[in-house]
Amino acid sequence: MPYIEVILVLLLITLNGLLAMSELAVASSRAAKLRTMADQRVKGARRALALASDPGRFLSTVQIGITLIGILAGAFSGATLGSRVSSWLLTLGLPLNIAETLGFGLVIGLITYLSLIIGELVPKQIALRNPERIACLVAPAMTILATISAPVVWFLERSGRLILALLGQNRVKDNTVTDAEIHAMIAEAESAGVLEPEERTMIAGVMRLGDRLVRTIMTPGTDVEMIDVNEAPAKIGKQMAGSGHSRFIAYEGSKENIMGVLQAKDVAAALLRRRAPNIRKLVKQAPAIPETLDALDVVNRLKESEVHFGLVYDEYGRFEGIVTTADILEAIVGVFRHDSSVPEPDIVERSDGSLLVSGGTPIDKLSDRLGMSVPPTREFQTVAGFVLDRLARIPASGDSFTEHGFHFEVVDLDGRRIDKVIVSRTKPSMRRATP
């Protein structure tokens, strides 16, 4: 009966679609999500994870099934259905050669169309929309199929490895995930609504901590308020009250002789008890941190510190600045507002599309904004350091250069410190300035 043959061909095409869907679902599934689903005891998750962990065996199993189905579908469509359609066309009065050619052509064209739509495109679109869930659904059946076809799969796998070795492609796949790939996944998650923009910013900030040296997030020593422990307690209390800070660097005699950290609350408590406090005994030790230490290591140092406050020194033992837990947090989420002051942003976009950038902005933050690459190993960590590295001298206001398709111009100096830089895209006629 022709109806049985048609139904059989449709079943073979549908089975081909199920195999194609299973193949793409398992191959596209994320191992981390499958592990999470397995921990949640989702049915089929562990089997799907096992199939994904051995792709060679799984793909060989699927290919065996698809190949057999293709052979059977071709045999039925060509030898059986094609001859039946040709016979039907002969009854309509068409010549034998035309009827045979047209009959086989119609059947092959229709089978090809159904194979593409039902056997490939639609199943694969379904698999891509929810690969992990589909993988869990098909994993039990695919595991049974893999067990049945194990001898053939073993032979095919060994044959494939031999050919790959002959072609010089026997190296193990590098599964290392790069920073760029992680950033791309985070951006994709944000566009899909899984992450909020603020969450993406914080994740990016955390990832940058390992690449930032402590000197890029510290408060420079020139901006740190210091107290001489030899001063009278009343004078020290007055200085603290007028500063607005809660912690101070304590030194004795010379600012090079730093003793530690003096907290305003300890001095205030002693003064409120109407006793003359021994300032030296109120000074607490803070960890000494090399300026070349990265920010992630600083977090561990501060966690162990009693005052959550670190003193940063250069390679010659000179005091460079301080770093606190607040500095770490601001490196992740941005600058906080202090008292009534509004924090000045590191990067401001101007009306003409150019950027007004603070000299102390971390260079990796600017490079992320511009899509500009900077060397992973470099002597500079800030935009000011980048400008100094390119100009190779202390700049004057108005000095400029072109780099990575962007024009950098120093527009404001605070003494010898680079305060503001304007960054704009270069015009085709713009040439790089010579330092």
Per-residue confidence (pLDDT) for residue 175, from 0 to 100: 58
Per-residue confidence (pLDDT) for residue 27, from 0 to 100: 82
Which parts of 29-149 fold into alpha helices (H)? 31-39, 45-53, 55-75, 82-91, 96-116, 122-129, 131-148
**Element holding 410 (H helix, E strand):** strand 406-414
Q: What is the DSSP letter of 312?
A: E
Mean pLDDT, range 191-217, rounded to an integer: 78
Q: What is the DSSP letter of 118?
A: I
Domain that holds residue 325: 214-333
- Same-domain pairing of 29 and 99: yes
The share of the chain scoring above pLDDT 70, in percent, equals 87
Question: Residue 225 is part of a domain; what is its CATH number?
Answer: 3.10.580.10
- Same-domain pairing of 105 and 233: no
- Same-domain pairing of 304 and 353: no
- Is residue 416 included in any domain, yes or no? yes
Per-residue confidence (pLDDT) for residue 217, from 0 to 100: 83
Query: Which residues are CB-neighbours of 205 under 8 A, at least 6 positions away?
Result: 331, 332, 333, 334
**Element holding 156 (H helix, E strand):** helix 150-166
Please report which confidence band the pLDDT of residue 430 belongs to, taking 50, 70 and 90 as the band edges: very low
Coil, strand or helix at 171? coil
Number of domains in the chain: 4
- Is residue 300 included in any domain, yes or no? yes
398 vs 385, 395, 412, CA distance in Å?
17, 8, 8
Per-residue confidence (pLDDT) for residue 3, from 0 to 100: 67
Per-residue confidence (pLDDT) for residue 435, from 0 to 100: 39
- Is residue 435 included in any domain, yes or no? no
Mean pLDDT, range 304-315, rounded to an integer: 86
Per-residue confidence (pLDDT) for residue 431, from 0 to 100: 42
For 142-187, write each residue's pLDDT tens digit: 888 888 888 887 887 778 778 878 887 666 555 566 666 777 777 7
Quick check: 351 pLDDT over 50? yes
Give the highest mean pLDDT range of 31-40, 189-198, 264-273, 417-426. Answer: 417-426
Domain boundary among 302, 333, 364: 333
Is residue 49 within 8 Å of residue 154, measured between CB atoms? no
Task: Between 61 and 85, name the one with better pLDDT.
Answer: 61
Given CA atoms 147, 148, 152, 153 in this order, what sign does their dihedral have? negative
Interatomic CA distance for residues 248 and 226, integer angstroms: 6
Task: Between 258 and 368, name the one with better pLDDT.
Answer: 258
Please report which confidence band the pLDDT of residue 343 belongs to, taking 50, 70 and 90 as the band edges: low
- Is residue 290 included in any domain, yes or no? yes
What is the crossing angle of helices 2-28 and 96-116, to 10°? 30
Per-residue confidence (pLDDT) for residue 408, from 0 to 100: 92
- Same-domain pairing of 252 and 395: no
Q: What pairing do the DSSP bridges indicate for beta strands 247-252 and 347-349?
A: unpaired
Quick check: 421 pLDDT over 50? yes
Mean pLDDT, range 355-369, rounded to an integer: 85
Mean pLDDT, range 389-399, rounded to an integer: 89
Domain boundary among 276, 301, 333: 333
- Same-domain pairing of 48 and 117: yes
Please report which confidence band the pLDDT of residue 357 belongs to, taking 50, 70 and 90 as the band edges: very high
∠ CA 289-294-297, nearest 5°, is: 70
Per-residue confidence (pLDDT) for residue 202, from 0 to 100: 82
- Same-domain pairing of 162 and 186: no
Please report which confidence band the pLDDT of residue 433 belongs to, taking 50, 70 and 90 as the band edges: very low
Please report which confidence band the pLDDT of residue 423 belongs to, taking 50, 70 and 90 as the band edges: very high
HSE-CB of 251 using CA atoms within 13 angstroms: 13
The share of the chain scoring above pLDDT 90, in percent, equals 4
- Same-domain pairing of 105 and 160: yes
Interatomic CA distance for residues 358 and 266, integer angstroms: 36
